[in-house]
Amino acid sequence: MKRLSVLDAERCVGCQCCMFACSRRANSPGLAESCIGVRSNGGMERGFVVVVCRVCENPPCVRACPTDALVRTEKSGIRLDEAKCIGCGSCAEACVVGAVYWDSEINKPMICIHCGFCVDFCPHGVLGLKERRGLSHAG
């Protein structure tokens, strides 16, 4: 699969246009439904951290889900079966990078589907869609 990758976080200027793009794609203008996050690395002078799902080989979020609501797919990363999800938050706790975002309106997780919509709105070459081959250390 092609995976959304953080190609070079050092180029990130912290504009957060990717976050707005992600939420906009979900027909939710603003930031509520963004599955990507940009925050400063402890002060903007130190640059930024870009947090997005890495589609782990053996995803802790999937393993942590008590109702099997999360499934790792080859096409679009981790998918949620909303009907199964009870909103316990175990997936979010299990993700060490914090890439499981939370939709507080419906109390369910939001995870990047690797569609690449945000890439078009990153003017500084931080993000890209990359074919996944073996282990990757990007991001």
Residues that bind another protein (CB under 8 A): 13-17, 20, 23-24, 27-33, 37-40, 42-45, 47, 121, 123-124
Nearer to another protein (CB atom), residue 14 or residue 128: 14
- Which residues are registered as beta bridge partners of 102? 109
Nearer to another protein (CB atom), residue 68 or residue 93: 93
Shortest gap between Cβ of 52 and another protein (angstroms)?
A: 13
Shortest gap between Cβ of 131 and another protein (angstroms)?
A: 26
Shortest gap between Cβ of 20 and another protein (angstroms)?
A: 6
Nearer to another protein (CB atom), residue 43 or residue 134: 43
CA distance 55 to 72: 8
Q: Which of 13, 35, 14 is nearest to 24 (CA)?
A: 35
Nearer to another protein (CB atom), residue 17 or residue 65: 17
Dihedral through CA 94, CA 137, CA 48, CA 50, nearest 10?
Answer: -50
CA distance 108 to 101: 9
Task: Output the six-digit token pair for 19.
Answer: 């976050």
